[in-house]
């Protein structure tokens, strides 16, 4: 007598695989290396200035060089990622910037330092536009703010590690050049690992099952654009006529004039104003970036929750406005500090407050950017890093011509402006205009 078919237990539901978490871990690791390589030079500034006899304005040109090429290549790098896929372009970018990080050890003066930093900036330009494109394709909508903030958190972690680790290695080895060779070698190895494992979309990854693909694609509201649309030429008309995008550009430009102080001049500021040594300055300069990791994480969680309560516009904008106003106030408190511990506490607050913004900012581009998320983010990031280009030279000039209080007061004004520009941002409005029907 045969058994009835319904006597068997029903098949278990297929559980989603977790490849997306590997993608998040890989991109976060990339961001750690990104900032480790970017900021290590700033920690070595006192040693390099002494070896090459550079004043503040000359060193400001060296520090600004990276941001010039980094900003100007944002749009080409973002567009290449949109057109050819993140896997090829990001792997090549990591390889390129790591090569020139190592080549910094061959510098013989201000000219070669500027040349190496320009070439390094070309490689790093695509990192955040491509990372944001990756998240738009790999992460569920309801986690866009959180996952974006975790990626930025990796950058802040690398930034926090760089001053302390670089100062310790320079002090231990008695030289700055081997440090750059070490960092460059780490990046070259990582680029090969990234190329071997990563795929452009969940559909292409052999370890990603249909249940995970369905999970990633579920929950996207009608007003959020589809990241899997096919790319063609850059939609310049949409780009130039989007008020939200221009407000993002101006916000990022002004924000970065203030924030770049933390990753360029802060160790020098602490040594000149408070008389700390290189290793102490390296440790203290790590703390604001470490606080920034917490700001990134909490900001990402907050924007996801606020979006559920307040909708796309104010779920993103509220953090954009409030965070930068808080950062402006923190800088004023830093000017009034009378010892290094109080001073660094205020800069810890500035970094934490400023980085509350990051999850909302990157989520905005995923909400409104569609298939061109890399290109549109790159456009705004270009303006942001033009602010980074201006900042070291401007602040170095103000510090040398007047004093550090004037330089920091300037940072505060620009933070405040960055928050106010968020009043014009609206994530409900796609940047890409619909084609005429």
Residue 1: per-residue pLDDT? 42
For 274, phi then psi, to 5°, come to -115, 0
Inform me whether the pLDDT recorded for 8 exceeds 70.
Answer: no
CA distance 156 to 161: 8
CA distance 284 to 295: 18
Residue 413: per-residue pLDDT? 96
Residue 329: per-residue pLDDT? 95
Extract the tokens encoding 214.
């369905």
Q: Which residue has the tokens 């278990």?
A: 12
CA distance 309 to 294: 23
Contact in structure between 263 and 392 (CB atoms under 8 Å): no
Which of 3-12, 268-277, 352-361 is predicted with the least confidence, judged by mean pLDDT? 3-12
pLDDT digits (tens, 9 = 90+) for 130-187: 888 888 888 887 777 777 778 777 887 888 888 889 988 998 998 999 999 999 999 9
Q: Where are the domains of the chain?
A: 17-206+217-424
**Residue 120: band (very low, low, confident or very high) from pLDDT cuts 50, 70, 90:** very high
CA distance 184 to 143: 33
Non-local (6+) Cβ contacts of 272 within 8 A are 404
Across residues 369-373, what is the average pLDDT? Answer: 74
Non-local (6+) Cβ contacts of 428 within 8 A are 223, 311, 312, 313, 367, 368
Extract the tokens encoding 366.
């995923």
For helices 404-421 and 243-259, angle between their N-to-C axes, nearest 10 degrees: 160
Inform me whether the pLDDT recorded for 297 exceeds 60.
Answer: yes
Q: Counting Cβ atoms within 10 Å, is residue 205 exposed (0-12), middle (13-18) or buried (19+)?
A: buried
Which of 15-19, 122-126, 204-208, 297-301 is predicted with the least confidence, judged by mean pLDDT? 297-301
CA distance 398 to 395: 5
Inform me whether the pLDDT recorded for 277 exceeds 50.
Answer: yes
CA dihedral sign, ordered 329, 335, 337, 343: positive
| Beta strand residue intervals within 23-97, DSSP E | none
CA distance 285 to 230: 44
Contact in structure between 43 and 166 (CB atoms under 8 Å): yes
Q: Which residue has the tokens 């090829």?
A: 88
Q: Counting Cβ atoms within 10 Å, is residue 437 exposed (0-12), middle (13-18) or buried (19+)?
A: exposed
Residue 16's SS3 state is coil
Residue 5: per-residue pLDDT? 45
CA distance 365 to 226: 12
Inform me whether the pLDDT recorded for 223 exceeds 80.
Answer: no
Residue 12: per-residue pLDDT? 46
**Homologous superfamily, domain 17-206+217-424:** MFS general substrate transporter like domains (1.20.1250.20)
Extract the tokens encoding 37.
């390589």
pLDDT digits (tens, 9 = 90+) for 374-420: 778 778 888 988 898 899 889 988 998 899 999 999 999 999 999 99
Distance of CA 296 to the CA centre of its chain: 10
């Amino acid at each position: 007598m045969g058994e009835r078919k319904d006597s068997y237990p029903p098949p278990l539901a297929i559980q989603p695989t977790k490849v997306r978490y590997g993608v998040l871990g890989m991109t976060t690791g990339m961001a750690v290396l990104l900032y480790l390589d970017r900021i290590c030079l700033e920690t070595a500034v006192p040693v390099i200035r002494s070896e090459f006899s550079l004043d503040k304005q000359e060193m400001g040109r060296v520090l600004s060089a990276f941001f010039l090429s980094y900003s100007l290549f944002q749009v080409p790098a973002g567009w290449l990622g949109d057109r050819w896929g993140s896997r090829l372009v990001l792997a090549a970018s990591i390889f390129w910037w790591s090569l020139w990080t190592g080549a910094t050890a061959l510098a013989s003066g201000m000219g070669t330092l500027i040349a190496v930093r320009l070439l390094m900036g070309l490689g790093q330009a695509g990192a955040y536009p491509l990372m944001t494109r990756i998240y738009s394709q790999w992460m569920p909508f309801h986690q866009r703010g959180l996952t974006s903030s975790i990626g930025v958190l990796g950058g802040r972690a690398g930034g926090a590690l760089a001053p302390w680790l670089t100062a310790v290695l320079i002090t231990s080895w008695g030289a700055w050049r081997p440090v750059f060779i070490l960092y460059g070698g780490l990046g070259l190895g990582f680029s090969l690992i990234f190329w071997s494992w990563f795929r452009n979309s969940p559909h292409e990854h052999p370890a990603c099952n249909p249940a995970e693909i369905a999970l990633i694609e579920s929950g996207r509201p009608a007003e959020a654009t589809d990241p899997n649309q096919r790319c063609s030429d850059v939609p310049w008309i949409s780009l130039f006529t989007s008020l939200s995008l221009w407000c993002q550009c101006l916000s990022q430009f002004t924000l970065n004039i203030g924030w770049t102080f933390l990753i360029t001049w802060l160790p020098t500021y602490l040594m000149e104003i408070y008389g700390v040594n290189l290793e102490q300055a390296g440790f203290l300069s790590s703390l604001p970036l470490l606080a920034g990791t917490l700001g990134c994480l909490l900001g990402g969680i907050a924007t996801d929750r606020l979006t559920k309560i307040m909708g796309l516009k104010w779920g993103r904008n509220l953090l954009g406005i409030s965070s930068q106003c808080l950062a402006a106030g923190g800088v004023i408190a830093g000017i009034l500090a009378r010892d290094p511990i109080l001073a660094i506490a205020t800069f810890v607050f500035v970094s934490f407050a400023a980085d509350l913004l990051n999850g909302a900012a990157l989520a905005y581009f995923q909400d409104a950017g569609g298939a061109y998320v890399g290109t549109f983010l790159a456009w705004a990031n270009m303006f942001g890093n033009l602010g980074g280009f201006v900042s070291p030279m401007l602040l170095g000039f103000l510090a040398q011509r007047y004093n550090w209080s004037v330089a920091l007061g300037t940072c505060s004004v620009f933070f405040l402006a960055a928050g106010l520009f968020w009043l014009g941002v609206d994530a409900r409005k796609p940047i890409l205009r619909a084609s005429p029907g």
